[in-house]
Copies of this chain bind each other. A is one copy, B any other.
Amino acid sequence: MTTDETQIKELIFSLRSLRKETRRIFAYQAKKQQLTETWIIALSALTRKDPSSLDELAHALQLSNSTTSGIVDRMIADGLVTKERDENNKRRINIRPTDKGRQKYADTYADYWEKLAPVNAIDQTKLTELLAIQAELLEKLEGIK
């Protein structure tokens, strides 16, 4: 095969490591605030689109509906969001952040992204290029199978 296997393996491992690191960083902050990375992104999405259906939220989180369903339930148990059947379309649910959810998101928002500020030590140009190549890579991967 023509594939430069070594490089591709390296790539897979690089991606594993990077996701692991970002998860770790979020987890550290999350502990103080009792929020997980996913919950923060969910609250962010719900702030932008309030209310959201399960499908819409799952899309924003890039997760399956079944995964998102469980996440919403746990967030409800924590009093961060509510869900109600849509009166106009009873298949649909409306998910909304509670005051507590909004407050918690506002409190931690700056912190979370600031935490990642050291990334800016990397050249802006390089970072832009990284995103471009990653986008190209994503496109190729999406075309597989």
Copies of this subunit: 2
Q: A25-B141, A119-B11, A130-B137 are in contact. Are A113 and B5 (CB under 8 A)?
A: yes
Considering the complex, give the chain B residue whose CB is closest to the CB of A17: B138
A10 to B115, CA, bound (A): 15
Give residues 88-120 of A contacting B (CB, 8 Å): 110, 113-120
A43 to B129, CA, bound (A): 35
Task: Report which of B22, B113, B129, B130 forms a contact with A141, defined as CB distance below 8 A.
Answer: B22
B135–A116 touching, CB < 8 Å = no
Interface residue? A78 (CB, 8 A): no
Task: Report which of B9, B130, B137 forms a contact with A113, defined as CB distance below 8 A.
Answer: B9
6 closest A-B pairs by beta carbon, nearest first, are A21-B141, A3-B117, A130-B133, A19-B19, A14-B134, A118-B140
